[in-house]
Amino acid sequence: MTRARGLAAALAAALLLAGCAQSVDPIERLGKKAAEGVRPHGPAPDRNYRHWGLTEPLPRPPRPAARPLGLTPDGTAHHLPRVLDHVPTRDPVVFLTYDDGAERDPRFVDMVRELRLPVSMFLTDSVVGPGYGHFARLHGLGAGIENHTLDHRALAGQPYAGQRAEICGQQDRLASRLGVRPRLFRPPYGAYDATTLRAAARCGISAVVLWRAAMTPADLVFSRGDHHLAPGDIVLVGPDESTGPNLRERTAGVLRGAQRRGLTVGRLEDYL
Ligand SMILES: [Zn+2]
């Protein structure tokens, strides 16, 4: 090859590289990822899975189909909220949900960050108390912040005004503390009635989220159906207890159970 041809080839290669570099511009990619709701920060998840008790990395969940919003422009729901204990999807995903907000382990924040774990936190104001900073950090990592009432009272059988105060009050509290106005609500103890649904709709709630699987200190337990995780399962990772495995260990237990069934973790807010 002559020197000139060599130079031309090198130049062409450089241009090609420049072209490639342009199409995968890191800033552009970050912007795209942010727009897709994927956190651009943090190390790749497959570098850290062993550290969190997994034997293989968690696959990234598929992109879910578009979902209907079901809200009017003023933020109230068109209809009564849907009530779900699982999401009707064939995507190989389960959903991790956490209640109350009593456990505020900074290492759990590390776990969510390092595994890029989509989680949904259903918060009760009187339980979170002064601990909203912890949930602000989780929210900054992409965690969904959802409503679990102001005071964790059993709502079923209560008058409309009281139920509405519990739900709408927590909407306002979460808006002022974390800048979010949830669409998802979980009634304390999973107990609700027709009045709860009317009150929740008035507060801008589009779905009442129950669970089919719960991670107890011992193992996963299922409220109905097959006694193993299945696509679309909503998992309550709890209950919050001072004894038994901590939140990280219970979460890892759910993740291992999901992996045994060929499932990964999806973002509940992408599906509802
Ligand atoms: Zn609760």
pLDDT digits (tens, 9 = 90+) for 144-176: 999 999 999 999 999 999 999 999 999 999 999
Give the span between the Cα atoms of 219 and 250, in whole angstroms.
8
Give the span between the Cα atoms of 197 and 98, in whole angstroms.
21
Q: How far is the CA of 188 from the centre of ligand 1 (A)?
A: 5
The mean pLDDT of 116-122, rounded to a whole number, is 96
The CATH homologous superfamily of the domain defined by 75-271: Glycoside hydrolase/deacetylase (3.20.20.370)
Q: How far is the CA of 21 from the centre of ligand 1 (A)?
A: 49
Q: How far apart are the first and last CA of the chain?
A: 62
Assess whether pLDDT exceeds 70 at residue 28.
Answer: no
Report the pLDDT value the prediction gives residue 18, as an integer from 0 to 100.
37
Report the pLDDT value the prediction gives residue 209, as an integer from 0 to 100.
98
What residues does the ion ligand 1 have nearby, CB within 5 Å?
99-100, 188
12 pLDDT tier (thresholds 50, 70, 90): very low
Closest CA to 121 of 142, 91, 151, 101: 101
Report the pLDDT value the prediction gives residue 47, as an integer from 0 to 100.
66
Q: How far is the CA of 240 from the centre of ligand 1 (A)?
A: 9
67 pLDDT tier (thresholds 50, 70, 90): low
Report the pLDDT value the prediction gives residue 170, as an integer from 0 to 100.
98
How confident is the model over 187-196, as pLDDT tens digits? Answer: 999 999 999 9
Mean pLDDT of all residues belonging to the chain: 83
Report the pLDDT value the prediction gives residue 78, as an integer from 0 to 100.
62
Q: How far is the CA of 15 from the centre of ligand 1 (A)?
A: 59
Assess whether pLDDT exceeds 90 at residue 21.
Answer: no
Choice between 6 and 84, residue whose per-residue pLDDT is larger: 84
